Structure 1
Amino acid sequence: MALITSCGNNKSTENDDKAVLDTVSLSNKNFALAYQDGDKIVATSIDTMKQISFGGATDPAISPDGNKLAYTLSDSVGNRSVWIADLENKSQGKLQVNGNNYYGAVWSADGNNIAFSVFNNQSVWKIGVIKADNSGYVMLDSTSKINAFGPNWKNEKEIIAHDIDNLYTFNLSGKLIDTKSIKGLIGNAYYISSSNNFFYSKDGKKLIFNASNGEVLDGLHDRAEAVYILDIASKKVAPISPKGVHAPFLFVTADDRIFYSGEEKPYTRSKIYVADLNGNIKTVVDKGSNPTGALK
């Protein structure tokens, strides 16, 4: 179940089947960022002056034009599904996918397609792709035993994902067109998990990712993760997030803005930051995690 409310309005409604947008008009509200705040999702303008929140939903993904929001809903028996809300006309609906465990939507840069993780009937994680109008669902590379974690768009016609050891590139027909060893790309100093993400820069010359380097931060129970950028030609890896910050969530827009959430000691509050490819960082949200951004 999800509950959606709007800032400045205390009315709310509930529905057992889907999230319900409130009746406040959202015209002329330019949403630029979506993120998790506890058990709710917040969609906001970049200056945080205009917001709408979704209770009970996870995995926020704002569309490139800022008009739609994808999110995951979980039912009482643990099934997950992706829903799309139109932030302007208040319509929303469940993606028409043949499965009961799919989550983590990501939009193509043109907003025409949505990719997500889906569990197939061979108990392998795959990439699902569907058109933004909720038609034409396909599962990429559906018959192989390759796991595909953390799908993200390399460009409008190619999607990348990994299985912890290798970084794969698929085209939209589902063909595996490239395989690269992750250690061959970034070296042996980093620990990759299924929740880590990889993004190519717009020109394809850099790879942005988050991972652990084994560092244990005082007061943090898990191994610290950080955001890094790889120059593919030189094979040089440089940190983006500051030392001492635990950064488990990363998203990179198609125009090369790096959004991530991070916690500083005592690791009880997560903030959201945006950085460029040169490592210039700005705090954009004082409390939140798992950010995604629209295009400028």
Structure 2
Amino acid sequence: MTKFNIKTASIMVFACGLITACGNEHPSDNSNKAILDTVSLSNKNFALAYQDGNKIVATSIDTMKQISFGWATDPAISPDGNKLAYTVNDTAGHRTIWVADMENKSQLQLQVNSGNYYQAVWSPSGSAIAFNIFNSNKIWKFGVIKTDNTGYVMLDSASKINVYAPTWKNEKELIGHDLFNLYTFDITGKLIDTKPIASLIGKDFTIASSNRFFYTKNGQKLIFNAGNDDTLDGITGSSEAVYSLDLSNKKVERLTPKGMQVSYIFVTADDRVFYSGTEKPFTQSKIYVSDLKGNAKLVVDRGTNPTGTLK
């Protein structure tokens, strides 16, 4: 993971966002497919997906109905709750994205000419998937593909700009950053806007390659997670929290409580903020959902990296 502290203008490189599967061993058949644990999937309404150790779980919001996949990471549930995208790491060190239909149990790999692409995120309508991809010039870019596995394009493929943590601004635009700047691309790959992050949120935050920025539905706010100056006994390195930036007045408000370490957020297209956080003694990560004012409730008592559907 790469970090940039806006205040000190120092760069810390920690593996450029590389994510590996939890656990030390892979299935004995070395299959690229994730292992589907659940047998019967009929009549299940899924609303949330998250990481739980060496598996990912899709569940109803009350956690009464669940399906799990072993040996997979980066869960991304579709807006309608019917499909799940995830990353598979094979024994050769490749990372690829697969999509499972949670009703008929089919699984397919996204047809991308690369051995290193991950971190899928669905468009608001569920018609396309964006992801990070390492190109032939060893630069991180965004890839976009339709959910029928056609129309793959790499955005801004010729430039030397690294871009991390893709999110959808709307159905036709994506945003990401290179630690210094926030970029907006259209889905044809054209770079249409560049804003220095420090000019948006100030200089008192630490930005890592894994930190994400989400526009709210009305486009008036940015929701993001970032490192701060909090000192948490038991946490090595900077603490992280979730914040809201009002673009009209540049006011930044904290959405998660002090004393909580929040390393991952996901904002749905209908403005619900899912995040995984730990509190002292920082041994167990839990999953919460919040509104844009920070009113949160606990939804899963053990898990990380949540994504949610539309209501």
TM-score by length of 2: 0.89
Residue 254 of structure 1: which of 233, 258, 269 is its match? 269
Report the counterpart of residue 102 of structure 2 in structure 1.
87
- Spell out, residue by residue over 1:24-76, the C-alpha distance to the aligned partner (whole angstroms, 9 max, x if none): 33121000000001111010000000001111100000000000000000012
What amino acid sits opposite 1:218 in the alignment? D
Give RMSD over aligned pairs: 1.6
Helix, strand or coil: the match of 1:183? Answer: helix
Report the counterpart of residue 131 of structure 2 in structure 1.
116
Helix, strand or coil: the match of 1:93? Answer: strand
Please tell me whether the aligned partners of residues 253 and 293 of structure 1 are also in contact (alpha carbons under 8 angstroms): yes
- The Cα shift of 1:14 comes to 6.6
Report the counterpart of residue 48 of structure 2 in structure 1.
33
Correspondence 1:165-180 to 2 at 5 A = 165-180=180-195
Please tell me whether the aligned partners of residues 117 and 127 of structure 1 are also in contact (alpha carbons under 8 angstroms): yes
What amino acid sits opposite 1:195 in the alignment? S
Unpaired runs of 5+ in structure 1?
A: 3-11
Helix, strand or coil: the match of 1:184? Answer: helix
Larger RCO: 1 or 2 (CA < 8 Å, sep 6+): 2
- Rate the CA distance shift 1:31–1:13 in 2: closer, same or farther, 3 A: farther
- Spell out, residue by residue over 1:168-220, the C-alpha distance to the aligned partner (whole angstroms, 9 max, x if none): 00001100000011000000010101010000000000000000113221011
Correspondence 1:74-153 to 2 at 5 A = 74-153=89-168
Unpaired runs of 5+ in structure 2?
A: 1-20, 22-26
What amino acid sits opposite 2:277 in the alignment? G
Instruction: Count residues with an aligned counterpart.
Output: 287
C-alpha distance in structure 2 between counterparts of 1:61 and 1:222, whole Å: 28
The list of structure 1 runs, each at least 4 consecutive aligned residues, that deviate by more than 6 angstroms after superposition, is 12-15
Alignment pair present for 1:222 and 2:248: no
Helix, strand or coil: the match of 2:208? Answer: coil
Report the counterpart of residue 5 of structure 2 in structure 1.
none
- Rate the CA distance shift 1:23–1:204 in 2: closer, same or farther, 3 A: closer
C-alpha distance in structure 2 between counterparts of 1:254 and 1:14, whole Å: 38
C-alpha distance in structure 2 between counterparts of 1:24 and 1:184, whole Å: 51
C-alpha distance in structure 1 between counterparts of 2:29 and 2:127, whole Å: 30
- The Cα shift of 1:222 comes to 2.6
Residue 227 of structure 2: which of 212, 222, 229 is its match? 212
Alignment pair present for 1:52 and 2:33: no
Please tell me whether the aligned partners of residues 13 and 22 of structure 1 are also in contact (alpha carbons under 8 angstroms): no
C-alpha distance in structure 2 between counterparts of 1:113 and 1:205, whole Å: 24
Report the counterpart of residue 288 of structure 1 in structure 2.
303
- Spell out, residue by residue over 1:139-159, the C-alpha distance to the aligned partner (whole angstroms, 9 max, x if none): 000000011100000000000
TM-score by length of 1: 0.94
What amino acid sits opposite 1:261 in the alignment? S
What amino acid sits opposite 1:203 in the alignment? N
C-alpha distance in structure 1 between counterparts of 2:125 and 2:76, whole Å: 14
Please tell me whether the aligned partners of residues 216 and 223 of structure 1 are also in contact (alpha carbons under 8 angstroms): yes
Helix, strand or coil: the match of 2:36? Answer: coil
- The Cα shift of 1:279 comes to 1.3
Identity rate, percent: 67
C-alpha distance in structure 1 between counterparts of 2:162 and 2:263, whole Å: 21
Please tell me whether the aligned partners of residues 37 and 69 of structure 2 are also in contact (alpha carbons under 8 angstroms): no
